[in-house]
Structure 1
Amino acid sequence: MTDAHDDTRPPGDLAGLAERQAALVATLVAGGPPPPGFAPAQLAATRAALLRKRAGEVARHWPLLAAGLGARWTTTFAGWAARRPTAGSLRDGWDLARALHNRQALPPAAAEELALREARLRYDGLSAPRPRRMPTVGRAGGAVAVQIAGRVRLLRPAPRPSTVPPVGGDGVPDAAGSALWISD
């Protein structure tokens, strides 16, 4: 019977293998330079597939963010994530939502999703999110959410751009765009 840890290769060979593996991982998930001996076209295809997979995982945690960006979701996420190693789907989505919010490019539904998360969880951008214990207000893109005793409520939805003038009612457009689907 052989020992699983019995290796006849010289110790330097294992260190070199670990370095080559780290370089390959850095290329695939963090935008590092291609390591020698790998075909750049195949590396690019693998990298694109991993970014699409990662975008899908983030979309499961941040469905309103993904839906708000629609057809631009995958390219927006891939452009943002191309040089960032993953911190996990929840945190990746949170960081992207904050980045879009800072650029005033966060869709209204995603602003509400971000405000709810900010009210429910404490996240500093470095460590894992933790539940908040004290009453808190979360704000993003005009949306306001409040958390009291573990319950989170959206107090004010994010303003949505009006594309159609309101029909019926009092003639005053509301922030949620309800005039588009409410009629007399």
Structure 2
Amino acid sequence: MSAGLAARQAALVDALVAGAPVPDGFDPVRLATTRRALLRKRAGEAARHWPLLAAALGPGWPTAVAEALDGVPPGGSLRDGRDVARWLRAAGRLPAGAVDELAAREVATRYDGSGAPRARRAPAVRRGRGSVFVQVGGRTLRLRLRNR
């Protein structure tokens, strides 16, 4: 493969998944359509790892994924879902049904937003909705809080 072809292919991929400008010679409308299709595919893949979040958003799930991840290179469906959940939480839009799911994931793994999530080694605590999640020794425990 020539260096020129490799550079053009890289520019096309960047335009499709990382928000780069449309390369010369490509139809911007078709490229935008393909980018939306790829975002829908990412939404479907992330929904398998984040079922409560996807179910809580219902038909709005693909739109939320597109808003949160448009221009963000794919990082795998587990990471994509976590990025969407954190984006929704920061915007004050995380559905109540997904608060516990995010808390359970955050107590079990470390994630800085750039690399892959990694299992926590140190104990951690996160509060969910009506529960507290505690991770000790690689196990995540859910402690339900009593209503007062």
TM-score clears 0.5 = yes
The residue that corresponds to 1:98 in the other structure is 86
CA contact (8 A) 1:51 1:78 kept: yes
CA contact (8 A) 2:131 2:142 kept: yes
CA contact (8 A) 2:64 2:84 kept: no
Q: What's the CA shift for 1:139?
A: 3.0
Among 43, 53, 57, the alignment partner of 2:31 is: 43
Compared CA separation, residues 33 and 101, structure 1 to 2 (3 A): same
The residue that corresponds to 1:75 in the other structure is 63
After the TM superposition, which segments of 4 or more aligned residues of structure 1 sit over 6 Å from their partners?
A: none
Among 107, 118, 128, the alignment partner of 1:130 is: 118
Identity of aligned residues (%): 58
Among 100, 104, 112, the alignment partner of 1:112 is: 100
Q: If you compute each CA radius of gyration, which structure gives the higher value, 1 or 2?
A: 1
Compared CA separation, residues 54 and 88, structure 1 to 2 (3 A): same
Mapped partners of 2:128, 2:11: distance in 1:
38
Structure 2: state its 5+ residue gaps. none
Q: What's the CA shift for 1:84?
A: 0.6
SS in structure 2 at match of 1:128: coil
Q: What's the CA shift for 1:42?
A: 1.7
Mapped partners of 1:114, 1:17: distance in 2:
42
Cα RMSD for the two superposed structures: 2.0
The residue that corresponds to 1:181 in the other structure is none
Q: What's the CA shift for 1:135?
A: 2.3
CA contact (8 A) 2:68 2:83 kept: no
Question: Greater relative contact order (Cα 8 A, min sep 6): structure 1 or 2?
Answer: 2
Structure 1: state its 5+ residue gaps. 1-6, 8-13, 158-173, 176-184
The equivalences for 1:152-163 within 5 A come to: 152-156=140-144
Among 83, 86, 92, the alignment partner of 2:74 is: 86
Mapped partners of 1:142, 1:29: distance in 2:
37
1:145 paired with 2:133, answer yes
1:26 paired with 2:10, answer no
Equivalent residue pairs, number = 147
